Structure formats: structure tokens, C-alpha cells
Amino acid sequence: MISDRVKKGVQQAPHRSLFNALGFTEEEMAKPLIGIVCSQSEIIPGHINLDKIAEAVKLGVAEAGGMPVIVPAIAVCDGIAMGHIGMKYSLVTRELIADSTECLAKAHAFDGMVMIPNCDKNVPGLLMAAARVNIPTVFVSGGPMLPGHVNGRKRSLSSMFEAVGEYDAGKIDAEALRNFEENVCPTCGSCSGMYTANSMNCLTEAIGMGLRGNGTIPAVYSARIRLAKHAGNKIMELVEKDIKPRDIMTKDAFMNALTVDMAIGCSTNTMLHLPAIAHEAGVEINMEIANEVSDHTPNICHLAPAGPHYMDELNEAGGIYEIMKELADAGLIKTDLITATGKTVGENIADSVNHDPEVIRTIDNAYMPNGGIAVLKGNLAPDTGIVKRSAVVPEMMVHEGPARVFDCEEDAIAAITGGKIKAGDVVVIRYEGPKGGPGMREMLNPTSAIAGMGLGSSVALITDGRFSGASRGASIGHVSPEAAVGGPIALVEEGDKIFIDIPNNKLELEISDDEMARRKSEWKPRQPKITTGYLARYCQMVTSGNCGAILRVPGTD
């Protein structure tokens, strides 16, 4: 066992004395040491219940013959961080989470790990750590929030942000806004639509690192506690069989995850996180692969914000395993891959049943013939621009309009809420990329303001930043190269015509090559916005959004 490094032999007597100080018995020290990496905190609705999940996992590990120890991981609530400097600190935590978990696991010689994340960046951060440390690992999240109800309709956090836009536009009064505020988030859990947290938790199942229901069982259901106990049992089986994350997270497993991603219309943030996780696993995932997968994968789910359904309904319909079964029956995913259940994908999904063919549509009754996410390219986005195609209204699939250019999110929001953005405009928000932000802020506030002002079917938004999973509309993010490194988005001028063609994956700035070259020759880099602390270091090391915004030492490939 790896933990023998700290438990066996004369030279380890000091180590054992410290385990004695922790209250561990000699019998416990003879067992595999399992790190339960728990992101519980009292500042995030999706994490406030994770202590209960951790205790259930601990029981499962002990029951199956392991020595469980609970250790921490940080997280940020994107909703609370939204719209101010706090959002600069969201994406950047992914690397902190991966690094700190690697440190904990290596320093204490864990034999296995159970990861307990729930929100946007600590799910991918812990997946990155799992691939990097590469000891037997299984995931069990905190689960999604139940949807709220406002005026007899199911609602979620995206409805809340859009309600602010409606209030600013004079469409609802303060009492109506308060009604949303009191009712859209009724329970603990990750926000109730197919936003980033739930997208990534669902993809833990698709990639093989989570047990059945990990992505969909609501946080407040007792089934979530039972799942946690089973995860504690399962890690001991994985340790015994020596099944490691890199055995599970192969190239084929990432292709399965991308296919499920396209089928259910996940958050565009998955286009940052899957390449970053793959990088840690020694697998290359590029955007060309994403479009290839999207081209032959029908979109069979429309969950909020793209459609009327919520995570609890997906769970009741059959969850991710049933989606995988629909895809497998059509020959779209590989079924012979080993997973954290100790079984293959095919064995996992063999008994899945579709209990609601409207929530999980069949392949021949898909919402769209292609996937929920599209990667756009053109002279405005030579590397990538990412859009959640399944959340775009038909009339905005092809759009041409004048650029309204803003160098930060705050200026754009002021213009939108001030009535300065008109139907047909293309809002451009730049210098918000990984380096330029720094931190690649989510643009939920401006997209929600556009929707709330009644412009969602006539105004597009383009940014080198990114979007919340709760964003909808013609919202194109991750534009690369970003403005801070002189990408074409830095050269856009007020009133330039921009052409968007989502069906044909095109994003074009309608100026001549000569004019583009002239502007490029006159462009000058801007001074960093932040010069001290973690963000300053992050800015120096982070790569482009099309590379997953991973960190590299300056001067290296």
C-alpha cells in the first residue's frame, strides 16, 4: 500500500505517533488510508450539505475495511461572485483546488480518494487532481437543488438574474422581483438547471468517475446519502482491484463525455474544463474534435436555461445512464470501457429505462440533429468561439449587426440597462479573457440583462470571457486569441459589422485583410489590471481559453 510509507517500519515510528495523536488505533492503521476530499462550506448553497455526504462516505469506507480521513478543498459560489471583482477569482480556483489536493494526497500517502465536490470549478479541479495523482478515486457530489416555483411555474437562478433585467426595463415591479428572490432557490444544492456545476457532475458519470445518479439525484433526497455510502464501499473495491483514474479517463472516455455533453446541451464551460482534465490525464482534446462530435450527436435534452425541464426531472426520467443508453443504442459511445463502478459502461447502462421520453428524447425525436454546443471560427476568432447552440432562438442562428464595443463587463451592463443597446446590435466585451481579466469572468449579468430587456431574440453578445451555464441566447464566449494578447477581438471598432453563422460555425468581422493588418500594427498591449497576489501570478502563467485556460510556466510549450 502507498500508505505504508507513513505507517510501516521503524523509521515510520514518528509518523505512527502522529496517527496515535489523531486517535487512530493500530487496527485502523493496518487498513488502506482513504482521503475523503470534501468541499463543505457555509458560503455556498451547493456545499452546505457536504458534511453529511462526507460522513456517509466515511461510514461506507469504514464498513468496507478502509481507514477514512476527511480533508478539505476550497470552492467559490459563482452566483455570489457574479458581477463584481469576485468573479475574477472563480475560474482561477480550479488550479488551486487541483494543486492543493495533489499536495494533500502526496504528502499523506493516500491509498485512494473519494472526491466530494458540487460547484462549478471544484468538480473539474478535483477531476484534474484525480488524473494527476492517479490513485483509485471515485466521485460523489452534493447533488442539484430542487427548482423553485414562481407564479405556478418552475424557476431557477437564471430566472432570478433575468428578473433583474425585467425590473430595470420596467416590466415587473419591486414586489414581483421580491417574489422571485424568495422562491427561485428553495433548497441546498447546485443550481437546478443544466448549468456548469450540474453539467460537470453529470459528466463525471459519462467519463466513468461517478456512480449512477451522481449528477442528477437532488441534494435533499435520501438517495444521495445512500449513494455516498455506496461510494465509500466502492473505493475499497477500486483500491483492491487497483483501478486508477487514468485507467478510466482514456481518450475514448473523453469522447464519450463529449458526446453526452452535446446530447444534453451542457454549459459552454465544459469546453474549458474537459480539455484541462484531459491534459492532466495525458489526453489531447481540441476544439476540432468537439465540432466533429457535435456534428453527429443529436441534442436530446432541453434543460433550463435552454428549455423547460430541470435536474429533478432528468433524474426521474432515468438520468445520465439512460442518456448514455440512448446514445449507445445508436452506436455513438463506446461501451467496453472500465469505470469507477468496477464495471464497463455497457454493464452500467444495461438495465436503464427511459421513464419520460419528453425529458430524454429518443435519437429519432431529437430537439436538434446536432449537439448543444458549437465551436465557431473566423477572422474574429481564429482559434475558437464557443456558443451553447441549444439555447439560441432560431432567429439568432444567423445574425449580422453593428458592433457595440466595451472593454469591461461593467461598461456593457451600464449600456444595456441604460437602454443604449438596440435590436440588431452585437455587444462585444473584451479584455475579460484568462489573461486580460484576469480570470475570464462569466457574463451572466449582461446576458440576463439582454434577456430581461426583451432583446434576447435580436441582440448577440461576443466576449473573450466566458458565460455561466445559466446564460442563454446568442452568447459567444472563449473568443481566442483574447484581446490581451492582441487577438482580433481587440481590433474591433464601434459600428463594425459582425457576421454570426452558427449552423456553419462562422464568426466574422466584416473588414478587409488590409484593414485588419493596419489595426493590428497600431495595437499596443495594455498594462495588467492586477499586479499583486495570486491573480498576477495566474495572469503570467495562464494559456488561452481554447487550450482550456490551463497554467504553463512562461517560456515553455
Q: Which residues are catalytic?
A: 468
Rounded Cα distance, 207 and 338, in Å? 10
Residue 482 CA neighbour count, 13 Å, CB half: 31
Contact 291, 375 (CB under 8 A): yes
The closest of 524, 489, 292, 302 to 393, measured between CA atoms, is: 302
Radius of gyration of the chain (CA): 23
The closest of 479, 445, 484 to 464, measured between CA atoms, is: 479
Beta partners for 155?
148
Residues with Cβ < 8 Å from 186, sequence gap 6 or more?
145, 146, 147, 148, 149
Beta partners for 373?
none
CA angle, 416 as apex, 415 and 418 as ends, to 5°?
A: 60
The closest of 119, 144, 129 to 35, measured between CA atoms, is: 129
Residue 141 CA neighbour count, 13 Å, CB half: 37
DSSP calls for 371-420 = -S-EEEEETTEEEEEEE-GGGS-GGGSEEEEEEEEESSHHHHHHHHHTT-
Helices then strands (H, E): number in the chain? Answer: 22, 14
* Amino acid making up residue 503: P
CA angle, 534 as apex, 531 and 537 as ends, to 5°?
A: 65
Q: Grid cell 475570464 — which residue? A: 440
Rounded Cα distance, 72 and 121, in Å? 15
Burial class (CB in 10 A: 0-12, 13-18, 19+), 556: exposed
* Amino acid making up residue 276: A
How distant, in Å, are the alpha carbons of 153, 172, 174, 182, 183 from that of 177? 15, 7, 5, 9, 10
How distant, in Å, are the alpha carbons of 289, 389, 475 from that of 557? 21, 32, 31
Rounded Cα distance, 210 and 53, in Å? 14
Q: For helices 157-168 and 409-417, what crossing angle results, to 10°?
A: 60
Parallel/antiparallel/unpaired status of strands 148-150 and 153-155: antiparallel
* Amino acid making up residue 442: E
Beta partners for 24?
none
Give all strands of the β-sheet with 33-38 in edge-to-edge order: 67-72, 33-38, 112-116, 137-139
Contact 151, 130 (CB under 8 A): no
Rounded Cα distance, 442 and 83, in Å? 8
